[in-house]
């Protein structure tokens, strides 16, 4: 059984275009509609349904599929009886629930792709025969993860409502000035793909957080994604959300949070399919009528390994990279700015998606503006990474709560901490000038960055991201 992301070849080969609120046509208030860019994407969903695969499409606009023919294929998609139970075998992986259908699929119109999971070689062969000419079959085999923890860079935990007597964002970064001017992120949507968020932590409990748990098998109709109250079994996502949007210590405390949990705490790894499903959900939320013209930012503290992992072919690795890059293009097409952690592997180690030009890639400095030793940097196809830096050493933010509801805060380090700081800065700019496009905000952040004179330029990009 193998999973594939089916992406129109036109889509994956096409460079990013002007966003839906771009300046090419002089229009600033058009609603998001990336689904119209590659209308042929829905043919994959139609074909898979005709072949007997069962739909697990996310809520929202469903594909206009053809009527099923009578016979074995048509019967296979309805009234299926589950024939296998999800079990955890000693030393083995969690098994997917499967039914009597030929497979399952999830049509994702806003990123212009379909995730397909085939339960038999025959079903996969039939689908390739029908679709391989127009669609790239991208195997979901390369794990993604957030940058690993940084040893020796974590401060002690603190108890209490906020613990710090004063917020610690220094005056030089412009955050105190923005807050004094009433610029606190109101009206901006911030999406986060991470381990989740503890919605009842004091740093987040006063706001309504739109939250989706994306299951281990996101394109299975038997384990659907769930919209529930936010939780976080790891703490990483809660820390990230606290930096960007915490009500006591966040850079942009008044943004509206949209969080998709796509990473498990036990492995800190995820799949392309889960990230795609989470990104589709974010775009679905951002495209609702009440949100369609609001500015948005997405924080991605995750990525593919720097080099092709053992056991995976270089061709499959490159296909996964191209698919992830296509998703970032869809964000820009939708006037959403993707902010991405550069990684924690040090100099001359740049992973993806930070290496893609569509991303705003973030390195880490401490509060003395010194580049963190772990902060990744390098050159990818003549593009220097990172683009800008953020505070990422011993950053104070929310983590978890005890069983007695006692809240904890903790200092953590990493580009995973620097990225939400910059995402918060981007939210402040988008709050002040909501008519700016995502690319214009990206350029503004880079133009206003404070140069770091004591650090090598190839490691710091344009400098420290600040609000001016």
Take residue 91 and report the two structure tokens written for it. 């030393």
Take residue 348 and report the two structure tokens written for it. 């001359």
Name which of 286, 366, 375 is nearest 330 in CA terms: 286
103-108 and 113-118 strand pairing: antiparallel
Q: Which residue has the tokens 């030929």?
A: 102
Name which of 112, 7, 108, 10 is nearest 330 in CA terms: 112
Instruction: Give CA separation, 103 vs 97, 122, 126, 131, 146, in Å.
Output: 11, 10, 12, 16, 30
CA 293, CA 369: separation in Å to the nearest integer? 36
CB 276 within 8 A of CB 230: no
- Choose, from 179, 236, 239, 284, the residue flagged as catalytic: 236
CA 244, CA 392: separation in Å to the nearest integer? 12
- Based on the residue annotation, tell me whether 194 is a catalytic residue of this protein: yes
- Based on the residue annotation, tell me whether 398 is a catalytic residue of this protein: no
Q: Which residue has the tokens 């009597």?
A: 100
**CA atoms 440, 441, 442, 448: torsion sign:** positive
Q: Which residues contact 223 (CB under 8 A, 6 or more apart)?
A: 86, 96, 97, 215, 216, 217
- Based on the residue annotation, tell me whether 66 is a catalytic residue of this protein: no
For the chain, what is the radius of gyration of the CA atoms? 22
CA 357, CA 236: separation in Å to the nearest integer? 26
Q: Which residues contact 213 (CB under 8 A, 6 or more apart)?
A: 196, 225, 226, 228, 231, 260, 261
CB 252 within 8 A of CB 245: yes
- Choose, from 11, 162, 194, 222, the residue flagged as catalytic: 194
CA 203, CA 399: separation in Å to the nearest integer? 9
CB 448 within 8 A of CB 192: no
CA 245, CA 298: separation in Å to the nearest integer? 12
CB 399 within 8 A of CB 157: yes
CB 331 within 8 A of CB 325: no
Burial of 423 (0-12, 13-18, 19+ CB in 10 A): buried
- Choose, from 77, 215, 397, 416, the residue flagged as catalytic: 416
Which residues carry out catalysis? 194, 236, 416
């Amino acid at each position: 059984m193998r999973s594939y992301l089916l992406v129109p070849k036109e889509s994956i080969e096409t460079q990013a275009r002007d966003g839906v609120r771009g300046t090419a046509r002089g229009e600033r208030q058009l609603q998001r509609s990336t689904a119209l860019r590659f209308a042929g994407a829905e043919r994959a969903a139609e074909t898979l349904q005709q072949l007997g695969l069962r739909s697990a499409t996310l809520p929202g606009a469903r594909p206009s599929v053809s009527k099923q023919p009578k016979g074995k294929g048509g019967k296979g998609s309805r009234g299926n009886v589950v024939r296998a139970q999800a079990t955890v075998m000693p030393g083995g992986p969690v098994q997917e629930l499967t039914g009597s259908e030929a497979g399952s699929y999830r049509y994702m119109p806003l990123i212009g792709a379909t995730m397909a999971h085939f339960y038999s070689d025959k079903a996969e062969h039939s689908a390739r025969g029908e679709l391989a000419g127009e669609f790239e079959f991208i195997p979901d085999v390369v794990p993604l993860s957030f940058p690993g923890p940084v040893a020796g860079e974590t401060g002690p935990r603190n108890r209490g409502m906020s613990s710090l007597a004063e917020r610690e964002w220094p005056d030089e970064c412009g955050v105190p000035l923005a807050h004094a001017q009433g610029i606190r992120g109101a009206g901006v949507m911030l999406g986060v793909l991470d381990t989740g968020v503890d919605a009842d932590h004091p740093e987040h409990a006063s706001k309504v957080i739109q939250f989706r748990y994306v299951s281990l098998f996101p394109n299975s109709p038997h384990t659907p994604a769930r919209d529930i109250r936010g939780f976080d079994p790891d703490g990483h996502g809660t820390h990230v959300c606290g930096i960007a949007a915490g009500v006591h210590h966040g850079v942009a405390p008044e943004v509206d949070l949209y969080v998709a949990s796509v990473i498990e705490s036990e492995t800190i790894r995820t799949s392309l399919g889960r990230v795609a499903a989470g990104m589709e959900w974010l775009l679905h939320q951002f495209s609702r009528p009440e949100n369609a013209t609001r500015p948005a930012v997405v924080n991605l503290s995750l990525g593919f390994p720097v080099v092709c992992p053992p056991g995976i072919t270089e061709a499959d690795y490159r296909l996964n990279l191209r698919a992830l890059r296509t998703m970032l293009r869809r964000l820009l097409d939708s006037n959403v700015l993707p902010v991405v952690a550069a990684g924690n592997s040090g100099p001359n180690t740049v992973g993806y998606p930070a290496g893609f030009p569509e991303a705003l890639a973030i390195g880490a400095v401490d509060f003395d503006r010194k580049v963190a030793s772990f902060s990744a940097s390098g050159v990818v196809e003549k593009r220097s990474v990172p683009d800008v830096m953020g505070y990422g050493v011993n950053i104070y933010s929310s983590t978890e709560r005890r069983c007695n509801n006692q809240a904890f805060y903790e200092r953590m380090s990493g580009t995973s901490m620097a990225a939400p700081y910059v995402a918060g800065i981007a939210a402040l700019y988008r709050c002040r000038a909501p008519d700016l496009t995502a690319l214009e905000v990206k350029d503004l952040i880079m133009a206003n960055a404070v140069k770091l004179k004591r650090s090598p330029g190839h490691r710091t990009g344009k400098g420290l991201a600040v609000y001016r």
